[in-house]
């Protein structure tokens, strides 16, 4: 049964240099038709899986940039969501946002439409770095937008930050953190830059024109991040996420707990009825498929039992609390040690995992090499 819903809005007024998500320049795109198609896709999915949408807990508008839409388009989209998605059990409704796109009118449309959490792409408070990564907002946009959001009624506000950016110094990173803490918001996500294929940065990297911080400096930035977050009362609940009590992201926890969620929109991914799937990315293919009365799925994979175990481990270990024994046993009708005793003992001896009566979790040392730890839990068929 799906616990969450992800809805992809693939339109942007500006394409960031690091972004590899499915996205299109807003101008001259069939935005209104796309919104109508989203409603049709939701109706088709609920028709196919009627029992899987009865207890939706979270909804997440991602992109692209949902706030690239006009207030009227946002109202239309949110109305369709309320029409097709049962809202009775929804406790968290998030929208991603760009600081320079959120007018008071858009904020009011989001709030009136049921959105109760904003996730804002700030990335840096250094204007030079913002220009390098292709962002168009200023610090003033961030301050003004957050003040407006609080005025409208939003209390659950998160921002994204990035480190390991081209040419970024420790002083720039520490300055961004200080400005983030001054906002007095309850949640901050912080990610290291990953140079993905099919991005502007990837093209620069392959030509030797992208100059990144050293691995040691990036590790030092992560170390400073964890120390500063703790000092300012934001607890680390996942490798890259920090929050005050009761403000952790419920939607993202669905991913890390390896539970099911529906994905709607061009290029969206989902996990329903034991099947991971992805939708057509090109707008025309997505819209045409739905208009023919078909779900716009281009790829499906039935997740095997071993794959479920693997995902339970390496997704769950992203969380500070780690993987709990009783949850693993409920899902797989076996103990974690039955399957993974030797791996766990090895990683504990290396100081990368801690194991107690509740379960297993990364040590502070293990957080720096999380991907290496996760790979140890892959099973051979």
pLDDT the model gives residue 218: 97
What is the distance in angstroms between the CA of the first residue and the CA of the last residue of the chain?
26
pLDDT the model gives residue 25: 78
- The helix/strand count (H/E) of the chain reads as 15, 17
pLDDT the model gives residue 381: 57
pLDDT the model gives residue 285: 98
162 pairs with which residues across the strands? 191
**The model scores a pTM over 0.85:** yes
Residue partners of 246: CB distance under 8 A and separation at least 6:
none
Q: Domains, the chain, ranges and CATH?
A: 4-256 (3.20.20.70), 323-375 (no CATH)
pLDDT the model gives residue 36: 98
**Residues 117, 156: Cα–Cα separation, whole Å:** 5
**Residues 78, 82: Cα–Cα separation, whole Å:** 6
For each successive 10 residues of the chain (381 residues), what is the average pLDDT? 96 84 86 98 95 95 95 98 96 96 96 98 96 94 97 98 97 98 98 91 89 95 98 98 97 97 98 97 98 98 96 97 97 96 97 97 97 92 57
Q: Which of helix, strand or coil describes residue 8?
A: strand
């Amino acid at each position: 049964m799906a616990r969450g819903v992800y809805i992809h809005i693939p339109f942007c007024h500006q394409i960031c240099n690091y972004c590899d998500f499915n996205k299109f320049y807003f101008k001259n795109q069939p935005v209104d038709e796309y919104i109508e198609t989203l409603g049709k896709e939701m109706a088709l999915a609920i028709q196919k899986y009627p029992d899987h949408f009865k207890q939706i807990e979270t909804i997440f508008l991602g992109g692209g940039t949902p706030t690239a839409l006009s207030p009227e388009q946002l109202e239309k989209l949110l109305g369709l969501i309320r029409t097709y998605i049962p809202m009775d059990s929804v406790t968290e409704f998030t929208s991603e946002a760009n600081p320079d796109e959120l007018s008071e009118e858009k904020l009011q449309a989001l709030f009136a439409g049921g959105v109760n959490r904003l996730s804002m792409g700030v990335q840096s408070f250094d204007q030079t770095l913002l220009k390098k990564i292709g962002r168009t907002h200023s610090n003033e946009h961030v301050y003004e937008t957050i003040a407006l959001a609080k005025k409208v009624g939003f209390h659950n506000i998160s921002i994204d930050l990035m480190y390991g950016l081209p040419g970024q110094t420790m002083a720039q990173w520490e300055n961004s953190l200080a400005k983030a803490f001054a906002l007095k918001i309850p949640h901050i996500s912080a990610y290291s830059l990953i140079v993905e294929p099919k991005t502007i940065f990837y093209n620069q990297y392959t030509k030797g024109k992208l100059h990144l911080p050293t691995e040691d400096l990036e590790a030092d930035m992560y170390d400073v991040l964890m120390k500063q977050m703790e000092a300012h009362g934001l607890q680390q609940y996942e490798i890259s996420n920090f929050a005050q009590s009761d403000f952790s992201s419920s939607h993202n926890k669905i991913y890390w707990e390896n539970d099911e969620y529906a994905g709607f929109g061009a290029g969206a991914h989902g996990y329903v009825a034991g099947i991971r799937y992805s939708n057509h990315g090109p707008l025309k293919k997505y819209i045409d498929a739905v208009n023919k009365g078909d779900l716009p799925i281009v790829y499906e994979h039935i997740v095997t039992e071993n794959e479920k175990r693997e995902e339970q481990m390496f997704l769950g270990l992203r969380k500070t609390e780690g993987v709990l024994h009783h949850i693993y046993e409920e899902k797989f009708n076996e103990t974690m040690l039955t399957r993974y005793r030797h791996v766990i003992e090895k990683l504990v001896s290396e100081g990368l995992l801690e194991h107690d009566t509740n379960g297993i979790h990364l040590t502070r040392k293990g957080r720096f090499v999380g991907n290496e730890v996760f790979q140890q839990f892959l099973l051979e068929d």
